[in-house]
Structure formats: structure tokens, C-alpha cells
Structure 1
């Protein structure tokens, strides 16, 4: 059977992921993501109202026109998890394919919301829920399997396409977490089985976000411990404390809510994405929040909450807000510019429980946001966080576990791939033979 892989998006940057695998006449698409940075550099752009071709021209979503070169029918669209760089283009591109969107429950809920918010296209693809550990048939000869992984969002999976020539393992995005705060540990047992059953692993497509970082990425339990230690140290502080993290990081948001209660402060989640992600997680029973927890996304509701906080005393509250990357329209950035009713005073604490996504736009916006906050006298606690991506020791372990015949680095640019190339070559892979460094818009013929 012919096996061909189209590297459509996410092979020149961190963002807008999209990969298609053709096995015979059957095609499976993994991820349809957005490059948010290329949207944010344009003022007041509303992606919901833009045509897909405009977003392609902005390098904001994958240019999927290469799909017309693949001889086969798309049988499934499979997002690995709910981050926008993996699902943000579904509402713009999925309607082109007569195929269901197959995802884990939380991811599917977020996809459903993306489709509901879409203002340009009518996306009517069937939505199929599948849990980690389950399988479904793809055409007459292939099978799709979900393997549970841990990441900085719940319900992440690595999909595996079983073909007569061996398994294609799509390895974006994960951290090897054996003690996660929410959800099950990474299923390394299943990965070991994949490397040793039937025809083994034909190809492994790998997340190279941290491929240049030595050592091992710690567990989320480490971040929980760091965060708790910090917040306990602020228990007697009688001024304002703010926290920001990835709105999609349900484990971290849950911990912030829990620790706020422990130090006698009322937590409140502020910002559209905070309300969206935490509300979805609570509806699905993925986490449990206190009954009196407020979640407010609409700007008028947020400003009313800020006025209430100022009236009743900042020392009684812990606002958890959007804006950890310094996004221009996010809540924390507006606070730094003095555009909310919340007054920052000298000595107020701002906790960044998030790292900077390694991309120039984010780095610049985050720097500007921190400068604005410091100019108002805020004291910043930086990087109370662990990454959601494996580092070099994790990459060695995955190669040893899966023993793939071919490897394709993804989720980075050429500079970011360099560490992974060195690492893979040290394990016997050779560039151009079975180690395929590629770019967006290419195809790789494996069989």
C-alpha cells in the first residue's frame, strides 16, 4: 500500500498545525490549527468574519490547497487537543471535506464552540466523540486509535493510524507526566506495545517545541507545588493579587481557584476565553469549581466585577485573568494600560503562571505587558509554570520506545529542528534517508 504524508502546516513555525496521511485511497487529516501571532499583529481582526483565503494569505491558517494533489478521499479530521494552534482553522477549512471530525470529549466541545462562533462558513461535518484507548475503522484496510497523553490541556491524545505497512504515530503535543493534576498519566505502556506489534511503527511525527532543551520536562505536580508555595507566602499580604495563565490550562486554573480559597481570597475568572474553557470543563465534569466561583467573559460583566472588587477591597479577591502572553486585547494588558476599573497600586502582585510561547510576537507583547504593569508599581512573579512539551530526554525515550522506521520533526522552524536532528542522528537516523526535515506544503512518500 502506498503511504504518503503531506506536511501542510506547522513545519516552519509553532502554530497552524495540519498534516495529512494517505494510506492507499484513504486520507486522515491530523489537526487544523491557527497561528494566532499572525492574527494579533493586525489590529482588531475578527477571524470569525474572514474568508479562509484571506487567512491563508496572512499565514494564519494552513494552505490546504496541496490536498488536491493527494489521490484519495478524506475519511476523518482528527484534532489532537483543544489548543487553537490545533483546532483554530477547523471552522475555516473542515467544510471542504466530506469527513467527520473525530476527537476526545473536551476537544470536541471546544471544536463545537469554534464552529458555532464561525461567521463566514457553514460547517456541517459530523462530530464524532472518541475516548483515549478506543479505535475506529478507516476505509477497508486501516484503523484509527487514540493513545492518552498529558499536555497543558485536558483530554489530549496522540492519534495512531494503523496501516498494513505499519503504524503512523502523530506525536503532537505532549509531556511525559506520570503524576498529572487532572486526568490519567501518559500511556507509555501502549506506546511500548506499538513499537513491538505487527509491523511496528512506520513513521513517527514528533513535536519539537522543546527539542533544544536539555533534560526532562517536569510533571504538572511540580507546577502545582510551586504555585501553592508562592500563594501561601502571600497569605498575609493585604494588597491586590492577580494571576494569569493559559485559559485552556484547566489543571492550573483549578489550582489557582483552590489556593485562593486557602489564603482567604475569593477567586474570580475574568476574560472571554477563561469563561469559555473553564465553563466547558465544568459542564463535562472534567473539574469541579466552588459554587460561588464567578466566571465573566463579557466586557461589561468584567468591568462590573472590577468595580465590585475595588468597592469591597482588593485584599479579598484573586482575579484570574487572560493575557499571559501580553495579547493586546486581553484583560491583563488592558489592566496594565489603565483601561479597567481595577486600580493597580504600588506593590500589588501579578503572578504569571505561564511561560512565553517561543515566538517573536509573543515575546515582544509579553515584555510590553510586563513593563506597563511595572510602571504602575506591580511586582511580578514570573514563570510559575512547567511546559506542556517533552524536552530532549523525552525525545530519546520516545524514539527508544517506538523504534520508528521514519521520523518527521514538526511544530517548529528550522532552527528549532536543529536539536532534534542532532538527537535523532545520535540514535542512528540519517537526514534524507529516514529522518525527514521538511517544510509546509511538501509531501513525503514513505511507501
Structure 2
């Protein structure tokens, strides 16, 4: 069977992930993501009404026209998890393919919300739910499997396409977490089985976000301990405390909510995406928030919540807001500019339970946001966080578990690939032979 891989997007940057695997006459697409930095760099740009070709020209979504060169039929679109750099282009591109969108329940709900928000295109692809451990047939000779992984969002999986020539393991995005706060640990037992059964692993496509960093990525349980330490140290502080984190990081949000109540403050979730992700997780029964937890996404509702906090006393509340990357329209950035009813006073605390994404736009916006907050007297608690991506020791463990015959680094630019090229070389892989460093818009023929 001919096996060909099209590296459509996410091979020159962190963002707009999309990869297509052709096995004989059948094609499976993994991820259809957005490059947020290409959108955020423009003021008040709303992508909902934009044409896909304009977004492709901007570098905001993958240029999927390369798929016309693949001699096969798309059988499934498989987003690995619900982050926008993996699902943000589905509403713009999925309608071009007569194929279901197959994903875990939480990811499926987020995909459906993205489709509902779309103004330009009508997407009527079936959204099919499949849990970690599930399988489905792809054509007559291949099978799709979901393997549970841990990441900075719940319900993440690594999809595996089993072909007669061996398995294709799509390894974006994960960390090796054996003590997650929500959900099951990463299923390393299954990865080891896949590496040793049948024809083994033909190809492993790997997330290289932290491949230049030594050691291993800590568990979310470590971030929870850090957060607990910071927040309990503020128990006697009678001024304002504000926290921000990734809206999609439900485990982190639940920890912040729990510790806020422990120090006698009522948490309130503020911002459109904060309401979206936490509201969806609660609706699906994945988390059980306190009955009186307020979630407000609309700007008027948010401002009314801020007014209530100011009237009843900032010492009684802990707002959890969007804006950890300094996004221009996010709640924390508006607070820093003095555009909300919430007034920051000298000595007020702002907890960033997130690191800045290492991309120039984010770095600049985060710097500006922190400076604005500091000018109003706020004191910053920075990097109360652990990453959702493997460091070098995790990569060594995955290569040992899977023993792939070919490896394709992804989810970085060329400089970001360097650490992975070195460690893969230490494991016997060689550039141009079985280690394929590539770029967007290329195809790699593994079996002819």
C-alpha cells in the first residue's frame, strides 16, 4: 500500500496545524488549526465573516490546496484536542471534504461551537464522537484508533492510523502526565503495545514545542501545588487579587476556583472564552463547579460583574479573567488600560498561571500588558504554570516506546526543530533517511 504524508500546516510555526495521511486510496486529515498570532496582530479583526482564501493568504489557516495533489478520498477529519491552533480552521475548510469530523466529546462540543459561530461558510459535516480507546474503520484496510494523552486541555488524544504497512502515530500535543488533575494518565502501555505489534510504527509525527528544553515536563499536579502555595500565601491580603490562565485549561481553572474559595473569596469567571470552555465542560458533566460560580462572557455582563465586585469589596472576590498572553481585546488587557469598572490599586496581585507562548506577537503583547498593569500599581506573580508539551526526556521515552521507522518533527519552526533533530540523531535516526525535517506544503512518500 502506498503511504504518503502531506505536511500542510504547522511545520514552520507553532499554530495552524494540519497534516494529511494517504494510505492507498484513503486519506485522513489530522487537525485544522488557526495561527492566532496572524489574527491578533490586526486590530479588531473578526475571522467569522472572512473567506478562507484571504485567511490562507494571511498565513492564518493552512493552505489545504495541496490536498488536490493527493490521489485519494478524505475519509475523516480528526482534531486531536480543542485548542484553536488545532480546530480553529475547521469552520473554514471542513466543508470542502465529504467526511465526518471525528473527535472526543469535549473536542466535538468545541468544534460544533466554532461551526455555529461561522458566518461565511456552511459546514454540514457530521461530527462523530469517539472516546480514547475507541476505533473506527477507514476504508477497507485501515483503522483509526484514539490513544489517551495528557495536555493542557481535557479530552486530548493522539490518533493512530493503522495501515498494512504499519501504524502512523500523530503525536501532537501532549505531556507525560501520570498524575493529572482531571482525567486519566497518558496511556504509555498502549503506545508500547503499538510499537511492538504487527508491523510496528511506520511513522511518528512529533510535537517539538519544548524539544530544545532539557529534562521532563512536570505533571499538572505540580502546577496545582504551585498555585496552592501562591494563593494560600495571600489569604490575609485584603486587596484585589486577579488570576488569569488559558481559558481552555479546565484543570487549572478548577484549581483556581477551589483555592479562591479556600481563602474566603468568591471566584468569578470573566471573558467570552472563559465562559465558553468552562461552561461546555460543566454542561458535559466533566467538571462540577460550585452552584454560585458566576460565568460571564458578554461585555455588558462582565462590566456588571466588575461593578458588583467594586461595590461589595474586592477583598471578597477573585476574578478569573482572559488575557494571559496580553491579547488586545481580552479582559486583563482591558483592565490594564483602565477600560473596565474594576480599579487596580497599588499592591493588588495579578497571578499569571500561564507562560507566554514563545512567538514574537505574544511576547510583545504580554510585555505590554504587564507594563500597563504595573503602571496601575499591580504586582505580578509570573509563570505559576507547567507546560502541556514534552521536554527532551519525554521525547526519548516516546521514541523508545514506539520505535518508529520514520520520524517527522512538527509544531515548531526550523530553529525549534534543532533540539529534536539532535536527540533523534542520538537514537540512530539520520536526516534525509528516516528523520524528515520538512515545511508547510510538502509531501513525503514513505511507501511507494
- Report if TM-score (shorter chain) is over 0.5: yes
Offset of 1:203 from its aligned partner?
A: 0.1
Q: How does 1:30-429 map to 2 (within 5 A)?
A: 30-429=30-429
Q: Give a deviation string over 1:7-58, Cα, whole Å, max 9, x none.
A: 0000000000000000000000000000000001111110101000010010
Q: How far is the alpha carbon of 1:349 from its aligned partner?
A: 0.1
Return the alpha-carbon distance in structure 1 between the equivalents of residues 115 and 271 of structure 2: 20
Unaligned runs of 5+ in 1: none
Find the residue that maps to 2:38 and give its secondary structure: helix
Q: Indicate the SS of the match to 2:128.
A: strand
Supply the distance in 2 between the matched residues of 1:76 and 1:176 (Cα, whole angstroms).
27
**Which digits, 9 at most, give the CA deviation of each residue in 1:136-188, with x for residues without a partner?**
00000000000000000000000000000000000000000000000000000
Distance 2:266 2:358 in 1: 33
- How much has 1:283 moved relative to structure 2? 0.6
Give the Cα separation in 2 of the matches to 1:51 and 1:379.
42
CA distance in 2, matches of 1:258, 1:38: 35
Match of 1:15 in 2: 15
Q: Aligned with 1:185: secondary structure?
A: coil
**In the alignment, does 2:428 pair up with 1:434?**
no
Q: Deviations over 1:308-367 (max 9, x none)?
A: 100000000000000000000000000000000000000000000001111010000000
CA distance in 2, matches of 1:250, 1:355: 16
Between the aligned partners of 1:334 and 1:133, the Cα distance in structure 2 is 43
The superposition leaves residues 86-116 of structure 1 with CA deviations (integer Å, 9 ceiling, x where unpaired) of 0000000000000000000000000000000
TM-score between both structures, scaled by the size of structure 1: 1.00
CA distance, structure 2, for counterparts of residue 293 and residue 234 of structure 1: 21
1:245-299 alpha-carbon deviations (Å, 9 max, x no partner): 0000000000000000000000000000000000000011111100000000000
Q: 1:308 and 1:43 mapped to 2: Cα distance?
A: 30
Instruction: Please give the secondary structure, in 2, of the residue aligned with 1:350.
Output: strand
Hey, what's the Cα distance between the residues in 2 that align with 1:194 and 1:360? 38
Give TM-score, length-normalised by structure 2: 1.00
**Cα distance in 1 between the residues matched to 2:43 and 2:235:** 40
Deviation at 1:118, TM superposition (A): 0.3
SS in structure 2 at match of 1:195: helix
Q: Could you say what secondary structure the match of 1:6 adopts?
A: strand
Structure 1 CA distance for aligned equivalents of residues 367 and 127 of structure 2: 40
Mapped to 1, the partners of 2:412 and 2:41 lie a distance apart of: 20
- Tell me the alpha carbon deviations over residues 393-437 of structure 1, each in whole angstroms, 9 at most, x when there is no partner: 000000011000000000000000000000000100000000000
Alpha-carbon distance in structure 1 between the residues aligned to 2:341 and 2:255: 26
What is the number of residues matched between the two proteins? 447
* Separation in 1, partners of 2:218, 2:189: 19
* Inter-partner Cα distance in structure 2 for 1:273 and 1:87: 14
Q: Distance in 2 between matches of 1:396 and 1:178?
A: 17
Any idea what SS the aligned residue of 2:196 has? Answer: coil
3-state secondary structure, aligned to 1:412: coil
Matches of 1:165 and 1:355 in 2, distance apart? 40
Whole-angstrom CA distance in 2 between matches of 1:389 and 1:288: 26
Residue 63 of structure 1 deviates from its aligned partner by 0.2
